[in-house]
Amino acid sequence: MKKPITVLLLLICQSGYAQVSYERLVNAANDGDNWLTYSGTYRSERYSPLDQINTGNVKNMKVIWAYQMQPSTQAGNGLVETTPIVVDGIMYLTEPPSTVTALDARTGKTIWSWSPDMSDEVLHIGFPRVNRGVAILDDAVYVGTLDAHLVSLDAATGAVRWDVKVAENSSGFALTLAPLAIEGKIIVGVSGAEAGVRGFVDAYDSATGERLWRFHTIPAPGDPGSETWQGDAWQTGGGSTWLTGSYDPELDLLYWTVGNPAPDWNGDVRPGDNLYSCSLLALDPDTGELSWHFQFTPHDTHDWDANQIPILLDAEFNDKERKIVALANRNAFFYLLDRETGEFLHGNEYSKQTWASGLDEAGRPIVLPGTDPTYDGNLIWPSLQGATNWFSPSYHPETEQFFVATRLMGSVYYKADVEYEEGQPFLGGGEQALSGDDAAGAIRALDVLTGKQQWEFMLHSPPWAGVMATAGGLVFGGSNEGNVFALDASTGKALWDFQTGGAVRTNPMGFAVDGKQRVASTGGSTLYVFGLE
């Protein structure tokens, strides 16, 4: 639905006109007033360089405005997991399941809103009806939809410029991630492993929507890595790519994470390491060719996909300057890799786990016997939801701290027989997660080069919200109980909180308008924007 043209033009004039060149995206770290990509920058630090709000005055922070998400009649309602993008006073966000809305970032007033025409029968096997955000490049906004389309919208009006089908939703495919915009290209991945799809990463021409390349995460016979699959298991191998990647413009490499193999809990029908499931891929953005890979959990049988945000940083490691990628994995281990070569540099346990005695010199887990799912059930930490999940960590480049929202929960894992049927769940078992007093959560601060825990802030239950560090010495986060909070980044001490009235399931982000710093998060289906005045 569009606003009347006179109102629309007035609001555009009031708010400015979005123009985001590739060069501007490359230099996003120097533009703290705006939030130009899903994770803030191509390095995915989810760090705000703004310091107007700091440890001394955050206690005075209050709600500046709030926006209530509108119930959608398209394919039912869903959970709010969006990270807004802010460009020169305009905020672009998604509402479940696949609506895009532009707001005046000063007031929250709606400029335009667009929803796709989707069937009420759209499939979403193994995940809720969610959308995590948009990408912006030049004067267009890009969104993936629950029925597996990629759409380009005019940033000023919301008018559709092009609409391409990425995959068949009837087979179980969907797009729930925020796309990544690089020079002339829009990069997307897909959800759907729980339906036994064969995952991939795609690149599309930003101007025309033409598909430029596709990298399949499950190799076909004869392709590199195909020896890790047997028989026809690769055809239903899973390997979803449902979370936004990172990008190094200098090395010209994309870093994209890959989900679990299928079926999830019965590994008998897919012997081998099952590449490239549960891996980090370094891809050539021009061709889609694989530069290197690292597999975190070979032959995963616990649904510990690697769909977590990879953070890029430069630091001295073992007396040598390194270009590093850091990742807190769902399997409860923290990893440092050389992002030029994929070499394993360091790994350590950052949360409770009972499935491995550690990592070997190459970073491969040393799996303990008797830890696979069984027909009777087997209690293992972490739960299938992992020690962390899709929600974002944060990195403070000045203090070299890595902040991660951690889930302290185990599960009883069950194995079951399975047969593949297109468009149906392909799981091979299930799990019963511990809850109540047997589960908790924490925000943890790690030394990024050692993985050593510096402090933790305990939560009553395992979180579904990420974190954001700021130059003001703060770490923002949220809880299932509805609190948005600010912690002292040096100590973990709680300095401020606000009760939203609904579970927080988003990653906080920051921006500024008219010289005033803002922090945005959600509670339930409401977006809150906070500031000092």
* Residues identified as active-site: 305
Euclidean distance between CA atoms 470 and 487, whole angstroms: 11
Q: Which of 99, 98, 76, 101 is nearest to 90 (CA)?
A: 101
Burial code (b: 16+ CB inside 10 Å, e: under 16) for 132-157 equals bbbbbbeebbbbbbbbbbbbbbebbb
Name the amino acid, one letter, at 217. Answer: T
Euclidean distance between CA atoms 392 and 510, whole angstroms: 14
> Which structure tokens are listed for 389?
């999940």
The answer to whether 185 and 207 are in contact (CB under 8 A) is no
Tell me the longest C-alpha to C-alpha distance in the chain: 68
Q: Which of 148, 137, 241 is nearest to 180 (CA)?
A: 137
Euclidean distance between CA atoms 282 and 219, whole angstroms: 15
Q: Which helix (H) or strand (E) holds 26?
A: helix 22-26
The answer to whether 152 and 160 are in contact (CB under 8 A) is yes
Euclidean distance between CA atoms 347 and 331, whole angstroms: 12
Per DSSP, 122 falls in state -
Q: For 95, how many CA atoms within 13 A lie in the half-sphere containing its CB?
A: 26
Distance between first and last Cα of the chain: 32
Cβ within 8 Å of residue 436, ≥6 positions away: none
Residue with tokens 């027989």: 417
DSSP notation for 366-411: EEPTT-S-BSS-EEESS-TT-SS-SS--EEETTTTEEEEEEEE--E
Strand order in the sheet with 90-95: 85-87, 90-95, 99-104, 110-114
